[in-house]
Amino acid sequence: MRKFKVFLFIIYLPIFIFELIIFKLFTIKNSSVSYQSMINYFIITRGWSNAIIHFFLKKNLLKKNKFDLQINKLKKNGYLIKKNFFTKKLVLDLKKSLKKIDGYWIGDKYKSKSKEKLYKKVKAAKFFYTDDDLLKLKPVQEILSNDYLFNIASKYLDAEPILYNINCWYNFPTKLPDKEAAQLWHFDMDRPKWLKIFIYLSDCNINNGPHCFVQGTHLNGSISREILNLGYMRIQDKIVNRFYKTKIKEFNFNEGDLLFEDSRGLHKGKKVTSKNRLMFQIEFTSSLFGNKYNIPSIKKRDCTNNFYKKVTSKRYNYQGIKII
């Protein structure tokens, strides 16, 4: 298997380099072949290839970053926690506004074919809203306008951050951990480098799907060869326990808390055993090279003044959102 991957590495390398260059020069989106190659290179080089791609594609900051203890911690551990970041009022407003929109059930046993209302009957492990619908909500626009989040992302990425991937979903109890709902160990690999921000909209403890992360596994060379050789797939608990038992972090949160995480490291959301969990999540990346993505659009009349000003004045940072 490894030899086959190295063979593919050599075959696709010219295409990959060509697509990297035209992405950098003309922002021409890469093919899925190059995206698959990026994953292969990550596995073969244990992450070093991503560092090179990130370095090549990122847009440098005008000012150099000063020393920042919390950013150093984030760089070393792969995560950073901010308690009570968003006010109870904002969380409540967001929850209220979610009631106005419909979403999709997704799970190993059931998937919605069209939008459904969130009724009491639980049909799957996860119920999510689309980014287009979320974008229209004023509390969402307030979160997406927050300068502090951009600031942390720019310091972590050491680059101009691009906001994209706006998600919000409920998790509900299931008998078994759900693959579709990312309840088994895995690493994300959509871009060369990124930072995820989990915004807790409900209190979360051992009963309703605590998030787990293996400290330090976001660093180059830190995921064991044995795990990487399994490929880009879900990983069983016993394997992760064998390699990283003492490094597994399990987090409890209250609504309004934030978790910054480089989800290149091994992570999972544990299954919910009682009640439910509501999560809002955004991502900052140094480049949109990699996997396909959706750019949600919003009409000018649906934007708050502040949000409209931000999005239109910082087009590079907000290129993951379109105003029509």
- Residues lying near Fe ion in the complex (CB under 5 A): 182, 188
Kindly tell me which of 181 and 303 has the beta carbon lying closer to Fe ion. Answer: 181
Nearest-angstrom CA–CA distance, 129 and 284: 19
Kindly tell me which of 188 and 302 has the beta carbon lying closer to Fe ion. Answer: 188
Burial class (CB in 10 A: 0-12, 13-18, 19+), 220: middle
Identity of the amino acid at 93? D
Question: Do 177 and 185 meet the contact criterion of CB atoms below 8 Å apart?
Answer: no
- The least CB distance from residue 28 to Fe ion, in Å, is 28
- DSSP three-state, residue 75: helix
Question: Do 285 and 193 meet the contact criterion of CB atoms below 8 Å apart?
Answer: yes
- The CB density around residue 184, as the number of other CB atoms within 10 Å, is 17
Kindly tell me which of 108 and 188 has the beta carbon lying closer to Fe ion. Answer: 188
Kindly tell me which of 46 and 179 has the beta carbon lying closer to Fe ion. Answer: 179
- The least CB distance from residue 123 to Fe ion, in Å, is 22
- Annotate 133-196 with DSSP letters as a single string: HHHTSHHHHHHHT-HHHHHHHHHHHTS--EEEEEEEEEE---SS--TTTT-SBB---SSSSEEE
- The least CB distance from residue 83 to Fe ion, in Å, is 23
Q: What angle do CA 243, 279, 261 make, to 5 degrees?
A: 40
Kindly tell me which of 142 and 188 has the beta carbon lying closer to Fe ion. Answer: 188
Kindly tell me which of 182 and 199 has the beta carbon lying closer to Fe ion. Answer: 182
- The least CB distance from residue 232 to Fe ion, in Å, is 11
- Annotate 146-164 with DSSP letters as a single string: -HHHHHHHHHHHTS--EEE
- The least CB distance from residue 269 to Fe ion, in Å, is 8
- The least CB distance from residue 196 to Fe ion, in Å, is 8
- The least CB distance from residue 235 to Fe ion, in Å, is 12
Nearest-angstrom CA–CA distance, 40 and 270: 28
Kindly tell me which of 40 and 165 has the beta carbon lying closer to Fe ion. Answer: 165
Nearest-angstrom CA–CA distance, 284 and 150: 8
- The residue sitting closest to Fe ion, measured at its beta carbon, is 188
